[in-house]
């Protein structure tokens, strides 16, 4: 099971950014009027993990000026990947030594759409195929990174600024927080767990009936490595494929006799779409009554992955509606509120059938923000920092407590 950069496409920030292979790529954002964003900015990495193993850091992604894939070294210099093969060939060693426990180290990040990986105790294994970089896919028991403790952050730095997030879309693992220092000297941070939140999440997941504890992966020595996302749980059989069926059936029944109204753009309250189920298909019409898009009844994979029957192209109609539906299904708000998106987090995840992985992650975040599924940014509940003229970025490796 190979996963190459660019295979998975999702949109974030509702028209502000698109994620290619999990990485933020800002689009349609006008260049700021203030001083131009430099070619590289400093990223200060602080190791507060309390762990004694060496840390390895990687900056992998797409060079925005050329569209080439590659890696950046500690100085921010870009190195394109060489040609890959079939079977995949080893990638060049792109590891940057990370800070020792209790220490900080600063690297420079270039104008990239990419990921900052970090691993504990062992370097990650990257390979190149003819389609590009093969990224870790630890839902596959044969993946060479399966028993390595690691995680990553996603970012885009371009002429319009920095977008930097913490993500749990694929897995919940080694805790960390991200931040940005703005031009005025103030700092914004997100992604930090509450005290006890790391262990609290795994404890809560183990206590959730229905197979959710099966998402947790451990190493032979007993080390808890991660919890897979429910999408991978369904794909690997750890979660039953029918896990969301009851909720979906109830939604389909409700909107066969009533209307689901979607207002996908917060800055365009007059743009509305109206959904009704007919013949087991959810059809959306515009204000003129014309059908603009339709959805087959989604399965759990479509919901957790925000893909397949909930595919979201980067357009102005189907994509925005699908993003809204995906958020409503994952948060289980479609039965309680016929006007979507629902922005009130207090009403999220209240149904017994819901994305319990996302529910438990948000419950353990200090600010309540997370990227627990692909469109967790609907309603601005995502763990993202942004600034149009950043002075410095931060990545803090937090305690495993």
Q: Give per-10-residue mean pLDDT for the chain (401 aa).
A: 33 29 37 71 98 98 96 98 96 98 98 97 97 95 97 98 98 98 96 98 98 97 96 97 98 98 96 97 98 98 98 97 98 98 94 98 98 97 97 98 96
pLDDT of residue 36: 86
**CB atoms near residue 128 (< 10 Å):** 20
* DSSP β-ladder status, 69-72 and 78-80: antiparallel
Q: How many residues does the chain have?
A: 401
Distance CA 76, CA 323 (A): 34
| 3-class DSSP assignment, residue 17 | strand
Q: Does domain 245-352 have CATH number 3.30.920.50?
A: yes
| 3-class DSSP assignment, residue 114 | strand
Burial per residue of 15-40, b for 16 or more beta-carbon CB atoms within 10 angstroms, e otherwise: bbbbbbbbbbbbeebeeeeeeebeeb
Which residue ranges make up each domain of the chain?
Answer: 9-237+358-397, 245-352
| 3-class DSSP assignment, residue 248 | helix
pLDDT of residue 213: 98
Question: CB within 8 A of 228, min separation 6: which ones?
Answer: 138, 139, 170, 171, 215, 217, 236, 238
The answer to whether 12 and 26 have CB atoms below 8 angstroms apart is: no
Distance CA 208, CA 197 (A): 16
Q: Fill in the DSSP letter of residue 319.
A: H
Q: Give φ, ψ of 303 to 5 degrees.
A: -70, -50
Distance CA 214, CA 230 (A): 10
Active-site annotation, residues: 154, 170
Q: Give φ, ψ of 373 to 5 degrees.
A: -150, 170
Question: CB within 8 A of 58, min separation 6: which ones?
Answer: 71, 94, 95, 96, 115, 116, 117, 118, 124, 126
Distance CA 305, CA 308 (A): 8
Instruction: Report the CATH fold assignment for 9-237+358-397.
Output: Thaumatin (2.60.110)
* DSSP β-ladder status, 339-340 and 96-97: unpaired
What is the reported pTM? 0.92
């Amino acid at each position: 099971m190979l996963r190459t950069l660019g295979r998975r496409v999702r949109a974030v920030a509702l028209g502000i950014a698109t994620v290619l292979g999990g990485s933020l790529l800002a689009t349609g954002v006008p260049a700021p009027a203030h001083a131009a964003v430099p070619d590289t900015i400093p990223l200060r990495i602080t190791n507060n993990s309390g762990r004694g193993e060496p840390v390895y850091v990687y900056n992998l992604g797409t060079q925005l000026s050329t569209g080439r894939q590659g890696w950046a070294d500690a100085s921010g210099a870009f190195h394109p990947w060489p040609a890959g093969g079939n079977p995949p060939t080893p990638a060049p060693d792109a590891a940057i030594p990370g800070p020792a426990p209790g220490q900080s180290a600063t690297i420079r990040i270039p104008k990239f759409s990419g990921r900052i990986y970090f691993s504990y105790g062992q370097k990650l294994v990257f390979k190149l195929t003819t389609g590009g970089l093969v990224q870790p896919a630890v839902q596959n028991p044969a993946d060479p990174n399966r028993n390595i403790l690691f995680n990553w952050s996603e970012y885009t730095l371009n002429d319009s600024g920095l977008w930097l997030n913490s993500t749990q879309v694929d897995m919940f693992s080694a805790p960390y927080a991200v931040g940005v220092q703005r031009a005025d000297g103030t700092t914004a941070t997100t992604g930090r767990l509450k005290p006890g939140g790391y262990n609290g999440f795994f404890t809560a997941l183990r206590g959730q009936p229905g197979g959710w504890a099966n998402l947790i992966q451990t190493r032979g020595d007993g080390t808890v490595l991660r919890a897979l996302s429910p999408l991978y749980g369904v794909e690997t059989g750890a979660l039953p494929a029918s896990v969301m069926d009851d909720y979906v059936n109830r939604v389909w029944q409700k909107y066969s006799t009533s209307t689901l109204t979607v207002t996908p753009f917060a800055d365009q309250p007059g743009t509305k779409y109206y959904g009704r189920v007919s013949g087991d298909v959810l059809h959306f019409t515009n204000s003129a009554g014309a059908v603009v898009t339709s959805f087959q009844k989604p399965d759990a994979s479509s919901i957790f992955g925000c893909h397949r029957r909930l595919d979201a192209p980067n357009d102005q109609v189907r994509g925005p509606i699908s993003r809204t539906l995906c958020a409503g299904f994952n948060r289980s708000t479609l039965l309680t509120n016929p006007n979507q998106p629902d922005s009130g987090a207090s009403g999220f995840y209240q149904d017994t059938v819901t994305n319990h992985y996302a529910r438990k992650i948000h419950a353990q975040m200090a600010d309540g923000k997370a990227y627990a599924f692909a469109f967790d940014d609907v309603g601005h509940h995502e763990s993202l920092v942004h600034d149009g003229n950043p002075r410095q970025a931060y990545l803090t490796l937090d305690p495993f407590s």
